[in-house]
């Protein structure tokens, strides 16, 4: 049995954590590999996860946590790890610095959770709900979301923006401004102050529902209440997990047709923002291949979905069907990654 270290934390709250959690769940009882995480696994990391799944991978969790002692000893002594190590890299890695072979293995969704289902009826059915998710940062283009919503909500009093923008690292989001007039600040409790931010940028805060940090397992219940989702990211190293989850739930998604997001757009399964301009004057990372969406095109897409219920349903159904047809699932992701690692 080959040990494989996924050198980051597994949890149910943010992108890399969700990747690690799902790989752990799918490899826990694999006869060929032993999954190990780079950080200790606590009960809180599994918040919202099916308790049967947690029980099924109990032994793998125990062995991974036991490995932490050996890992700390090796790190302290400067020794090398006698196993395969998978690193989770962030925004600092770009093509110009890569000399190794590149393989693409798409992230997935859990189809037992993310699938079309009726709305609960908990929200006011006369409103038009627009979903926006992800940690606030330049790359995710939250400024473009707010600029578009500012004008859209001026035209349509029933428009509501539902944000899931909180993350474990509010300090990385504070100060973000982009094309807005006023940067994002923090509340006295140290969380991002979304309501004050939108108000200072000319948006009625009563038209914004701010959802705090929630475990990924609860996202389907939020997404199914939405009329559409908006994801105008300037860049995605993968394909935007929240957009994929919204598609799986049958929610029509407006996507920026650039970088990795192109791998989600096919055959009318989403509304693509194709008027992409080059991204310049961003000193914090290389922007080769990034794209800047047009606020006007975002507004056009929102207007089409707002006025045409049939179109919304058609795109939502096509998106959900595409996720299934393309097998964009965590089980398939785990199977392909296992095959690659064992071939090295």
Measured distance CA(336)–CA(174) in Å, rounded: 37
Q: Which two tokens stand for residue 125?
A: 């059915």
| Same-domain check for residues 83 and 180 | no
Per the domain annotation, does 121 fall within a domain?
Answer: no
| Same-domain check for residues 174 and 74 | no
| Same-domain check for residues 206 and 264 | yes
Measured distance CA(159)–CA(191) in Å, rounded: 25
pLDDT at 74 (0 to 100):
75
Per the domain annotation, does 116 fall within a domain?
Answer: no
Per the domain annotation, does 210 fall within a domain?
Answer: yes
Check the CA dihedral 217-219-222-223 and report its sign.
Answer: negative
**Cβ partners under 8 Å of residue 134, min gap 6:** 140, 142, 164, 165, 231, 233, 240, 242
Measured distance CA(62)–CA(36) in Å, rounded: 10
Per the domain annotation, does 248 fall within a domain?
Answer: yes
| Same-domain check for residues 191 and 211 | yes
| Same-domain check for residues 271 and 338 | no
* Edge-to-edge strands, sheet with 271-273: 208-210, 159-164, 128-133, 228-231, 253-256, 271-273
Measured distance CA(168)–CA(153) in Å, rounded: 30
> Please, are residues 174 and 127 in contact by the beta-carbon 8 Å criterion?
no
Which residue, 89, 91, 14, 145, is CA-closest to 282?
Answer: 91
* Edge-to-edge strands, sheet with 84-86: 33-37, 2-6, 84-86
| Same-domain check for residues 242 and 150 | yes
pLDDT at 81 (0 to 100):
73
Residues 216, 217, 221, 222: what is their CA dihedral angle, to the nearest 10 degrees?
-10
Measured distance CA(145)–CA(230) in Å, rounded: 7
φ/ψ of 343, rounded to 5, equals -90, -10
Per the domain annotation, does 144 fall within a domain?
Answer: yes
CATH of residue 295's domain is 3.40.50.2000
Enclosing domain of residue 282:
128-325
| Same-domain check for residues 180 and 211 | yes
- From first to last of its 344 residues, what are the pLDDT tens digits of the chain? 899 999 999 999 999 999 999 999 999 999 999 999 999 999 999 988 999 999 999 999 999 999 888 877 777 777 677 789 898 877 666 866 677 777 889 999 999 999 999 999 999 999 999 999 999 999 999 999 999 999 999 999 999 999 999 999 999 999 999 999 999 999 999 999 999 999 999 999 999 999 999 999 999 999 999 999 999 999 998 889 999 999 999 999 999 999 999 999 998 999 999 999 999 888 888 898 899 999 999 999 999 999 999 999 999 999 999 999 999 999 999 999 999 999 98
> Please, are residues 136 and 176 in contact by the beta-carbon 8 Å criterion?
yes
Measured distance CA(147)–CA(297) in Å, rounded: 12
pLDDT at 96 (0 to 100):
67
Q: Which residue has the tokens 């996202």?
A: 219
| Same-domain check for residues 58 and 136 | no
Number of residues that make up the chain: 344
Per the domain annotation, does 282 fall within a domain?
Answer: yes
| Same-domain check for residues 91 and 208 | no
Count structural domains, the chain: 2
Per the domain annotation, does 243 fall within a domain?
Answer: yes
Written as one string, the DSSP assignment of 235-278 is --SS--HHHHHHHHTT--EEEE-SGGGGGG--TTSSEEE---B-
| Same-domain check for residues 212 and 318 | yes
Collapsed DSSP state (helix, strand, coil) of residue 319: helix
Per the domain annotation, does 120 fall within a domain?
Answer: no
| Same-domain check for residues 161 and 294 | yes
N-term to C-term CA, the chain: 15
| Same-domain check for residues 265 and 140 | yes
Q: Which two tokens stand for residue 317?
A: 């159904």
């Amino acid at each position: 049995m080959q040990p494989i270290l996924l050198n980051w934390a597994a949890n149910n709250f943010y992108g890399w954590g969700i990747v690690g959690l799902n790989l752990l769940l799918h490899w826990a009882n694999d006869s060929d590999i032993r999954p190990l995480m780079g950080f200790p696994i606590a009960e809180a990391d599994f918040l919202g996860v099916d308790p049967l799944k947690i029980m099924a991978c109990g032994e793998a969790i125990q062995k991974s946590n036991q490995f932490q002692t050996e890992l700390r000893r090796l790190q302290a002594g400067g020794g090398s790890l006698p196993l395969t190590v998978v690193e989770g890299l962030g925004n600092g890695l770009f093509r110009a610095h890569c000399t190794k072979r590149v393989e693409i293995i798409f992230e997935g969704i859990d189809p037992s959770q993310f699938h079309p289902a009726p709305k609960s009826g908990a929200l006011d059915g006369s409103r038009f709900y627009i979903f926006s998710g992800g940690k606030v940062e330049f790359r995710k283009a939250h400024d473009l979301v707010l600029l578009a919503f500012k004008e859209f909500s001026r035209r349509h009093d029933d428009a509501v923006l539902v944000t899931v923008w909180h993350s474990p690292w509010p300090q990385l989001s504070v100060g973000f401004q982009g094309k807005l007039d006023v940067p994002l600040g923090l509340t006295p409790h140290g969380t991002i102050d979304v309501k004050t931010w939108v108000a200072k940028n000319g948006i009625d805060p009563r038209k914004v529902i701010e959802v705090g940090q929630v475990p990924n397992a609860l996202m389907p219940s939020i997404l199914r209440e939405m009329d559409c989702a908006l994801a105008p990211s300037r860049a995605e190293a993968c394909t935007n997990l929240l957009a994929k989850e919204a598609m799986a739930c049958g929610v029509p998604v407006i996507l920026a047709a650039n970088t990795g997001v192109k791998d989600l757009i096919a055959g009318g399964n989403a509304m693509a923002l194709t008027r992409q301009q080059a991204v310049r004057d961003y000193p914090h990372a290389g922007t080769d291949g990034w794209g800047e969406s047009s606020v006007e095109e975002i507004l056009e897409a929102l207007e089409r979905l707002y006025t045409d219920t049939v179109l919304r349903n058609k795109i939502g159904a096509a998106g959900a069907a595409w996720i299934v047809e393309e097998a964009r699932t965590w089980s398939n992701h785990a199977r392909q990654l296992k095959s690659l690692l064992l071939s090295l």
